[in-house]
Amino acid sequence: MPKFVQVEHSKCLFLSNDFSITSNQKPSKYLELAFNRYSKYISSLTGLSIKVHQNLPPSKNTLTIDCSSSNSDEDNYPTLGEDESYILNITETGSYLSGPTLTGVIRGLSTFVQLIEKDTSSHKNYIPC
């Protein structure tokens, strides 16, 4: 059975009403569907209205996503041996997710959502850095 561990975070990224998801390139239809699905999921968890943009300058309250797959229009189901890796970097000044495939980006989005916490006293949503 997992052991409960209390962790205190001194640095975190606060999510506020102007939080948005942006892509560095024109997203494929499958990537756009993933953005919309996860923005709705984050909204339901946090109560915030999450917007999805393309080529928005990185800001403190943005998750910037870069999917380097050249065939992301064809990527809809993972394949055997597919690279599912991703890099998720969260700092006080913003967050960045990159992956070589659509599957990698979706795995990274799942991790991003799992990291969201709510402060019990201030009721603010944040992600530990």
**Tens digits of residue pLDDT in 108-121:** 999 999 999 998 88
Q: Is 81 exposed, middle or buried (0-12, 13-18, 19+ CB in 10 A)?
A: exposed
Query: Domain boundaries in the chain?
Result: 19-70+83-128
Average pLDDT over residues 26-52: 90
What are the residue ranges of helices labelled H in 82-125?
Answer: 102-115
Torsion over CA of 93, 30, 45 and 56, rounded to 10 degrees? 30
Higher pLDDT, 26 or 8: 26
Contact yes or no for 46/76 (Cβ under 8 A) = no
This prediction has a pTM of: 0.84
CATH of domain 19-70+83-128: 3.30.379.10
